[in-house]
A and B are shown apart, each in its own frame.
Chain A
Amino acid sequence: GAVVSQHPSWVICKSGTSVKIECRSLDFQATTMFWYRQFPKQSLMLMATSNEGSKATYEQGVEKDKFLINHASLTLSTLTVTSAHPEDSSFYICSASGTGWGIGTDTQYFGPGTRLTVL
């Protein structure tokens, strides 16, 4: 149990375009999903927290109009990087926590990550 998928696993786009990243919990209900960004040799930095059916809560310094998060169901959250620029190139990782068989309380289960490169 506790499998989280992300799609795509990598994406290359031109500056100014938008990119959507999907995060799905495959075998449990994700009441909360988290989006992180990780630059090389740095730790995971939380960008936002989203609860199903509610607006996401963004961390300080993260532009909510640039990083659009939608958590429409208990198994799917999306992150859209709008008008991407080279400085947005990073490793984006989602995680999910929730309820289900074998799901640890308070534990976040991570997706495999999406490597975004903006040219």
Chain B
Amino acid sequence: GQNIDQPTEMTATEGAIVQINCTYQTSGFNGLFWYQQHAGEAPTFLSYNVLDGLEEKGRFSSFLSRSKGYSYLLLKELQMKDSASYLCAVTPLGGYQKVTFGIGTKLQVIP
């Protein structure tokens, strides 16, 4: 099975940097997704890491360590619109079937 842990809530200041951590324990692992979900809306894709290391996309970066079962999402130059839940999700060996989502980290950006 899959077990995913991430903090339930975080608060950060506009313009700052915030790191959202995710640890996972899986019986088989292929890759890890990060999704952003605003309240009452469906998730939107942010990143997908399969290999170890850091991948940067503009203000957002995602890191993966397969050996440690650990990932983080780094948000730079925070904006008020970044207030949302950030979902960590893992895919098993064999690809995208049965993606398992964490409960999500609710990030509140304050002025």
Let me know if B42 and A106 touch, CB within 8 A: no
Given the known A-B contacts A93-B42, A110-B43, are A104 and B101 also in contact in the complex, defined by CB atoms under 8 Å?
Answer: no
The answer for the CA separation of A43 and B99 in the assembled complex, in Å, is 12
Q: Which residues of A contact B35 (CB under 8 A)?
A: 110
Q: Which residues of B contact A91 (CB under 8 A)?
A: 40
Q: Which residues of B contact A110 (CB under 8 A)?
A: 35, 42-45
Tell me the total A-B contact number using a CB cutoff of 8 A: 53
Q: Which of B42, B43, B98 has the most CB of A within 10 A?
A: B42
The answer for the CA separation of A112 and B33 in the assembled complex, in Å, is 18
Let me know if B104 and A104 touch, CB within 8 A: no
Q: Which residues of A contact B91 (CB under 8 A)?
A: 106
Let me know if B42 and A113 touch, CB within 8 A: yes
Q: Which residues of A contact B87 (CB under 8 A)?
A: 43-44
The answer for the CA separation of A1 and B58 in the assembled complex, in Å, is 19
Let me know if B104 and A108 touch, CB within 8 A: no
Let me know if B45 and A107 touch, CB within 8 A: yes
Chain B nearest CB: distance from A110 CB in Å? 4
B79 close to A (CB within 8 Å): no
Q: Which residues of B contact A2 (CB under 8 A)?
A: 45
A75 close to B (CB within 8 Å): no
- Per-residue contact bits, chain A 40-83, to B (CB 8 Å; 1 contact, 0 not): 00111010010000000000000000000000000000000000
Given the known A-B contacts A32-B96, A43-B87, A49-B97, are A104 and B102 also in contact in the complex, defined by CB atoms under 8 Å?
Answer: no
A25 close to B (CB within 8 Å): no
Let me know if A107 and B48 touch, CB within 8 A: yes
A28 close to B (CB within 8 Å): no
B95 close to A (CB within 8 Å): yes
Let me know if A113 and B48 touch, CB within 8 A: no
Let me know if B96 and A108 touch, CB within 8 A: yes
Contacts A107-B33, A113-B40 given; 10 further ones with Cβ under 8 A? A6-B42, A43-B102, A43-B104, A46-B98, A93-B42, A106-B30, A106-B31, A110-B42, A110-B43, A113-B41
Which residues of chain A have a CB within 8 Å of any CB of chain B? 2, 6, 32, 34, 42-44, 46, 49, 91, 93, 97, 104-113, 115
